[in-house]
Amino acid sequence: MEFTFDLEKNKEKILEFKGFLSDHKDMPGALIPALQEAQVKFGYLPQEVMEIIARGLDVPASKVFGVATYYSQFTFIPKGKHNISICLGTACYVKGAQGILEEFENILGIKGGETTPDLQFSITDCRCVGDCSIAPVVVVDEDVYAKVKKADVKDIIQKYSLEVECVDN
Ligand code: FES
């Protein structure tokens, strides 16, 4: 899935980011801090931003791409408005967390680690979140869902979909 980075909408942020690059241009090892700053500012590393880094730091674009893909801390997919995190720690796993993850994937039509094309939902998995007594656990944004069953998945998604509709109307 290709996401389009809106240069016009991000104009202000890009300007600020270019300022960051010119401040750090002569600093040794500036590439990683620049990638980190870009990820904080834009939420992920769009190709256009990596090209801005290459020009701003005067390094080959291939080097920027190479370093960014080497480190797992960097992501090339934007995060959705709502992040659904399914705990796959042992306690949750034995209580069916894998099936719950698959249910989220089926309903939203994306895989773990991906974001829906409308940028509303991302699915991630995580290890023990420290609430094993209420396994299996799903965390959506700041909300913790306990003893989740496959049958609950649709309602959980619906809750955040409705929220989106309410905000828009
Ligand atoms: S394993 Fe999921 S909360 Fe501990």
Total domains in the fold of the chain: 2
Q: Do 17 and 43 fall into the same domain?
A: yes
Q: Cα(55) to centroid of ligand 1, in Å?
A: 45
Q: Is residue 25 part of a domain?
A: yes
For residue range 68-108, list pLDDT tens digits in order: 999 988 989 888 999 999 999 999 999 999 999 999 999 99
Distance 67 CA to ligand 1 centre (A): 33
Q: Would residue 109 count as lying in a domain?
A: yes
Which atom of ligand 1 lies at the shortest distance from residue 91's CA?
1
58 and 136 co-located in one domain: no
The domain boundary residue, chosen from 19, 46, 70: 70
Q: How far apart are alpha carbons 67 and 33 in whole angstroms?
A: 11
Give yes or no: residues 89 and 162 share one domain.
yes
Within-domain flag for 75:
no
- 14 alpha carbon, distance to own chain's centre: 20
Q: Is the pLDDT of residue 3 over 80?
A: no
Query: Ligand 1 centre and the CA of 83: distance in Å?
Result: 18
Quick one: 159 and 88 in the same domain? yes
User: Is 76 part of any domain?
Assistant: no
Q: Of 155, 120, 162, give the one whose Cα is nearest residue 141.
A: 120
From 125, 137, 139, mutation site for ligand 1 pocket: most ligand atoms within 8 A of C-beta: 137
Which amino acid type is present at position 11? Answer: K
Ligand 1 centroid to Cα of residue 138, in Å, is 9
Judge whether 96 lies within some domain.
Answer: yes
Residues 53 and 116 reside in one and the same domain: no
Pocket of ligand 1 (CB under 6 A): 87, 89-92, 128-132, 135, 137
**How far does the centroid of ligand 1 lie from the alpha carbon of residue 135, in Å?**
6
Query: Does 86 share its domain with 156?
Result: yes
Residue 86 sits in the same domain as residue 66: no
155 shares a domain with 101: yes
Which DSSP string do the residues of 104-160 spell out, in sequence order? HHHHHT--TT-B-TTSSEEEEEES--S-GGG-S-EEETTEEE-S--GGGHHHHHHHH
pLDDT class for 163, splitting at 50, 70, 90?
A: low
**169: pLDDT confidence band, cut at 50, 70 and 90?**
very low
pTM: 0.75
Q: Whole domain around residue 64: which residue ranges?
A: 11-70
Q: Which atom of ligand 1 is nearest to the CA of 131?
A: 3
Task: Tell me whether residue 6 is in a domain.
Answer: no
Q: What is the CATH number of the domain that holds 129?
A: 3.40.30.10
Are 49 and 125 found together in one domain? no
Give tens-digit pLDDT for 107-137: 999 999 899 999 999 999 889 999 999 999 9
* Contact between 141 and 83 (Cβ < 8 Å): yes
